[in-house]
Chain A
């Protein structure tokens, strides 16, 4: 069972993200040129259970500027993966960093401890020699 105080803290943080995302969406209207810099990034999740994955997808979608477009189930070769449409990121790395921070906070709430950093699990969890393993850990 998750700690209710952590859940409140996470909700407040999501609220802050909603406000900053709203500011991005609204200030984008008044900038000249094309609206936003859309990109679809691939986000391999550290979330394991259905609850964590659902909360993560909902958190991403409720934040203005990011939207879950597709999801891929986990199998023995890869993690559950979300494909996220981001509108206001500087670069792919920048967007992924924000999403990983959200996942850190989410897993800290559901598990009561912080998950391992991304750099360690990509190396350890992925079987070596698999196609795609080097590409993903390079991100």
Chain B
């Protein structure tokens, strides 16, 4: 149904690209600095790499066994489930990470969850903002 060369090329390209993205995402998770960033850099693996591997598997079955409506349905259902489940799961992961009190990397700036827009104390330490509250000049120390 598909020429051998085309099938092998497509399976190879999609499968290897997908696997390489998963591998590089794992490296990116080591480079990232806090839990939120790690969840963030994991989304290429679930959002792009796994659908690509699924596509490679579907093309392989199509080439090997010929077209079957059941297989097409399985592939489409798997694709949609990957997209929906990965986005919902990442949402749940990140919200529970934050609600669970995991530390956010200190160079996360601006961090609107810890400071309001227009906050006059933004970027100050607690000591500095206390001094500013009472108009104390601490510059000579």
Q: Which residues of A contact B111 (CB under 8 A)?
A: 39-40
Contact-residue bracket for chain A: 35 or more
Q: B94 to A35, Cβ gap below 8 A?
A: no
Does B19 count as interface, using CB distance less than 8 angstroms?
A: no
Distance of A49 from chain B, by nearest CB (Å): 18
Distance of A127 from chain B, by nearest CB (Å): 18
Q: A29 to B110, Cβ gap below 8 A?
A: no
Distance of A94 from chain B, by nearest CB (Å): 12
Q: Which residues of A contact B81 (CB under 8 A)?
A: none
Q: Which residues of A contact B3 (CB under 8 A)?
A: none
How long is the Cα–Cα vector from A40 to B36 in the complex, in angstroms?
10
Q: B86 to A62, Cβ gap below 8 A?
A: yes
From A38, A63, A66, A136, B107 is in contact (CB under 8 Å) with A38
Nearest-neighbor residue (CB-CB) of A36 within chain B:
B37
Q: B40 to A66, Cβ gap below 8 A?
A: yes
Distance of B13 from chain A, by nearest CB (Å): 15
> Chain B's interface: helix, strand, loop or mixed, by majority?
helix
Nearest-neighbor residue (CB-CB) of A21 within chain B:
B44
Q: B44 to A40, Cβ gap below 8 A?
A: no
CB-contacts of B47-69 with A (<8 A):
47-48
CB-contacts of A40-90 with B (<8 A):
40-42, 57-59, 61-71, 83, 85, 87
Q: Which residues of A contact B25 (CB under 8 A)?
A: 25-26
- Contact (A34, B33) CB under 8 Å given A39-B111, A68-B94, A87-B40: yes
B residues apposed to A, CB below 8 Å: 21, 24-25, 27-28, 31-34, 36-37, 39-41, 43-44, 47-48, 83-84, 86-88, 90-91, 94-95, 97-99, 104-105, 107-113, 116-118
The 20 listed contacts between A and B (C-beta, < 8 Å) are A19-B48, A21-B43, A22-B21, A22-B48, A25-B44, A26-B25, A26-B28, A28-B28, A35-B37, A38-B34, A38-B108, A62-B47, A64-B47, A64-B48, A65-B40, A68-B95, A69-B95, A70-B98, A70-B99, A85-B40
A residues apposed to B, CB below 8 Å: 18-19, 21-22, 25-26, 28-29, 34-36, 38-42, 57-59, 61-71, 83, 85, 87, 92, 132, 135-136, 138-139
